[in-house]
């Protein structure tokens, strides 16, 4: 079976077999076998290719590392665990937002705390104008999933939907900005995801608690890691099932 992930990653970056062969110092036919026959490159070659295509090794070659090694790398991906999301220092959010240049991906219900930052929406617009990909996923305020979560968090039926609508009002200026996409989802949200290039904050959700009072993980992407990639793939799944935000 061909390695379609590797093929797609190369195409996305505008790279061909010769580019990879020169970078890895191997024969062109060797690279072709890595793709068409899904042959597994040596670790040094996997590192080189992953860096070239800006993907993790674990994504390109899911079976390359034994489970024990994946577990070890996974521990290293966790920078810090916070007992509550509101315990994350303001300085960390400032750095993550200011340093992101390639992509910002956010999966929330409302994420109202983000727009409490005076320049957040303008920062996203500027990043998009400079070539970053901005993808924002909000809970559909009219969905039964949002109503149910609002009740589970003991907020009352309409409260969370109202918060989402309040948050969306701040994002209106982004609707006309190229490079920014806003969508609604109707998923059961187990975690909120905040990705800034190769770093991510995961706000877990705990039944009966609001997000601000639930634990959060600060993750850093490692080429051979699995944790960051798991949440990234989850975001992609929700994105594929979402619809353009109409507000």
CA–CA dist 16, 39 (Å, integer):
17
Question: Is residue 124 predicted with pLDDT exceeding 70?
Answer: yes
The H or E element spanning position 161 is: helix 159-171
pLDDT band for 42, please (50, 70, 90 cuts). Answer: confident
pLDDT value of position 71? 58
CA–CA dist 109, 107 (Å, integer):
7
CB-CB neighbours of 43 under 10 Å: 12
Domain residue extents for the chain: 4-63, 73-244
Ranked by mean pLDDT, which of 62-71, 79-88, 141-150 comes out on top? 79-88
The pLDDT of 68-82, averaged and rounded, is 76
pLDDT value of position 108? 96
CA–CA dist 124, 180 (Å, integer):
8
Question: Is residue 69 predicted with pLDDT exceeding 70?
Answer: no
pLDDT in tens, 14-37: 989 889 889 889 888 898 899 988
Fold of 4-63: 434 Repressor (Amino-terminal Domain) (1.10.260)
CATH 3.30.870.10 fits 73-244, yes or no: yes
pLDDT band for 102, please (50, 70, 90 cuts). Answer: very high
pLDDT in tens, 132-176: 999 999 999 999 999 898 888 888 888 989 999 999 999 999 998
Question: Is residue 66 predicted with pLDDT exceeding 80?
Answer: no
CA–CA dist 148, 36 (Å, integer):
47
pLDDT value of position 109? 93
The pLDDT of 88-113, averaged and rounded, is 94
Residue with tokens 């619809």: 243
The pLDDT of 65-93, averaged and rounded, is 82
CA–CA dist 187, 210 (Å, integer):
17
pLDDT value of position 100? 96
The pLDDT of 211-235, averaged and rounded, is 89
pLDDT value of position 155? 83
Phi and psi dihedrals of 241, rounded to 5? -95, 0
The pLDDT of 49-75, averaged and rounded, is 74
pLDDT value of position 72? 60
pLDDT value of position 247? 79
Question: Do residues 140 and 190 make contact, with C-beta atoms less than 8 angstroms apart?
Answer: no
CB burial of residue 78 (10 Å; 0-12, 13-18, 19+): middle
CB burial of residue 123 (10 Å; 0-12, 13-18, 19+): middle
Nearest to 56 by CA among 106, 16, 6: 6
Long-range contacts of range 164-170, CB-CB < 8 Å, 24 or more positions apart? Answer: 164/109, 164/110, 164/138, 164/139, 165/141, 165/247, 166/110, 166/112, 167/110, 167/111, 167/112, 167/114, 167/115, 167/138, 168/138, 168/141, 168/245, 168/247, 170/115, 170/121
Share of the chain above pLDDT 70, in %: 96
pLDDT value of position 67? 65
The pLDDT of 108-117, averaged and rounded, is 92
Nearest to 104 by CA among 10, 181, 9: 181
CA–CA dist 80, 219 (Å, integer):
7
Q: Is 132 helix (H, G, I), strand (E, B) or coil?
A: coil
pLDDT in tens, 43-55: 888 888 888 888 8
pLDDT value of position 196? 97
Nearest to 174 by CA among 124, 116, 138, 239: 124
Average pLDDT over all residues of the chain: 89
């Amino acid at each position: 079976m061909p390695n379609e992930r590797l093929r797609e990653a190369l195409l996305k970056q505008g790279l061909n077999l010769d580019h990879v062969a020169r970078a890895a110092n191997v024969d062109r036919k060797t690279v072709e076998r890595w793709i068409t026959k899904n042959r597994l490159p040596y670790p040094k070659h996997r590192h080189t290719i992953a860096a070239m295509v800006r993907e993790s090794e674990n994504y390109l070659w899911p079976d390359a590392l034994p489970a024990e090694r994946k577990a070890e790398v996974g521990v290293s991906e966790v920078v810090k665990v916070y007992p509550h999301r509101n315990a994350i220092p303001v300085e960390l959010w400032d750095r993550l937002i200011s340093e992101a240049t390639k992509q910002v991906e956010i999966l929330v219900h409302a994420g109202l705390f983000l727009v409490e930052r005076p320049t957040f929406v303008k920062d996203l617009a500027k990043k998009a104008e400079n070539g970053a990909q901005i993808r924002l996923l909000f809970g559909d305020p009219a969905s039964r999933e949002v109503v149910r979560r609002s009740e589970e968090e003991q907020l009352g039926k309409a409260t969370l939907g109202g918060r989402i609508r309040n948050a969306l009002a701040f994002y209106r200026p982004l609707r006309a900005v190229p490079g920014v996409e806003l969508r609604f989802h109707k998923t059961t949200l187990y975690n909120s995801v905040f990705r800034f290039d190769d770093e991510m904050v995961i706000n877990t959700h705990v039944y009966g608690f609001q997000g601000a009072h639930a634990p959060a993980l600060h993750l850093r992407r490692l080429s051979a890691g699995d944790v960051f990639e798991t949440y990234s793939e989850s975001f992609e799944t929700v994105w594929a099932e979402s619809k353009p935000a109409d507000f």
